[in-house]
Amino acid sequence: MSQLFKTVALIGKYNSPATGDPLLRLARFLEEQGYGVLVERQTAESTGVGAFPMASLEEIGEQADLAVVLGGDGTMLNIARALHAYGVPLVGINQGRLGFLTDVSADTMLETMAEILAGDYLSEARFLLSVTIRRHGENVHEACAFNDAVVSKGATARLIELEVFVDGQFVYSQRSDGLIVSTPTGSTAYALSSGGPILHPTLEAVVLVPICPHTLSDRPIAVNSESTIEILLLHADDARVHFDGQRHFDLQENDWVIVRRSSHMVRLLHPLGHSYYDMLRQKLHWGEKL
């Protein structure tokens, strides 16, 4: 039987001593099964796993048929953004805390990977956000986000003021600590802790969640994922837009933050039997007796 994935890339959480041993075990397992193995360069250097070919993320995007991410959701977010334009499917092995995106247990890693490599998996496509910052009529910054794009105050304690438009229609003005624009993937992250709804990953929707709004009537709102969301920053002593909580860009008054659905998708592979609702019950402790 021909292999579905000929070359498998391994990417671990940077500067994490706990990643080295499972990464080495998985690399040896894949090699024994006849798969080509690439280890992301920074991962190899930080874990000391240098016995296998090393590659940059760009080279992984161009050469790998599958990428396995060892770490937590933060690691997966970073890699998803880096590889989304290449269409490389991702598998997440959880070495973090919650693991909404990295759902393969490290304890059953080899058994589960054998099943996935044999074609026994569930495939799921999730969309990202494309974000453009416009200043004085010019685009000054572009980025993508898998979880969310967040306009928020910086180090100062004062509220920021902004206006929100959807598809050119004025929605509201707001004084708050900020605004979260979240994908369904990000609805279990910052948006959830700010009172937003949980969106199933198959929903074609984006949710706007105010952060500590001054007016209590401000509530989360879900819009179609094909909508264009424009945020005009009216006043702020210090404001930024954050991408998945990992990168940011400093904003100025009268900047526009324009959020659209990206043309690319992230493809996640899950073990057979994976259930989104089972995962929510486990991670959020639903149904436990008090």
Q: Rounded to a whole number, what is the largest CA-CA distance in the chain?
A: 63
- Establish whether 73 is a catalytic residue: yes
The encoded tokens of residue 154 equal: 């910086």
How distant, in Å, are the alpha carbons of 23, 43, 110, 213 from that of 17? 11, 10, 20, 41
From 21, 65, 73, 218, the catalytic residue = 73
Catalytic residue set: 73
